[in-house]
A and B are shown apart, each in its own frame.
Chain A
Amino acid sequence: MSENPLNIVLADDDDDDRMLFSEAIDEIAIQTNLKLFNHGQELMDYLNTAGSNLPNLIFLDLNMPIKNGLQCLKEIRSNTALKDLCVAIYSTSSSEVDIEETFLNGANIYVNKPNNYSKLREAVEKVLQLNWQYHTSNLNKDTFLFRI
Chain B
Amino acid sequence: MRFFVKYDFNIMCKTFLKEHLNALGISYALNSINELTITEDLSPEKEKALAEALQRYGISIENNQKTTLVERIKSAVDSMLRDHAHSSVKLSDYLAENLHYSYAHLSAVFSENTYSSIENYAILRRVDLVKEYLCNTNLTLTEIAFKLNYSSVAHLSGQFKKTTGLTPSTFQRIMKKKINHSQPN
Contacts and interface: CB of A to CB of B under 8 A. Distances in A.
A105 B125 CA distance: 24
Query: Per DSSP, are chain B's interface residues mostly helix, strand or loop, or mixed?
Result: helix
A145 B164 contact: yes
A103 interface: yes
B133 to A, nearest CB: 11
Interface residues of B, number: 28
Given A2-B112, A133-B124, A145-B171, A140 B165 contact: no
A104 B67 CA distance: 34
B115 to A, nearest CB: 5
Contacts of A143: 128, 131-132, 135, 171, 175
Contacts of B67: 1
Contacts of B9: 138
A31 B124 CA distance: 22
Nearest to B130: A143
User: Which of B114, B115, B163, B181 has the most chain A CB atoms inside 10 A of its CB?
Assistant: B115
Contacts of A100: 174, 177
A46 interface: no
A110 B135 CA distance: 20
Contacts of B112: 2
Interface string A111-141: 0000000000000000011101100111110
Given A100-B174, A143-B132, A147-B166, A129 B116 contact: yes
A34 interface: no
A17 B135 CA distance: 36
28 contacts: A1-B64, A100-B177, A103-B174, A104-B174, A105-B181, A128-B115, A129-B120, A132-B114, A132-B115, A133-B116, A133-B124, A137-B74, A137-B121, A137-B124, A137-B125, A138-B9, A138-B74, A138-B78, A139-B125, A140-B128, A143-B128, A143-B132, A143-B135, A143-B175, A145-B166, A145-B175, A146-B165, A147-B164
- 7 A-B pairs with least C-beta separation: A147-B165, A143-B131, A104-B181, A139-B128, A103-B174, A146-B164, A129-B116
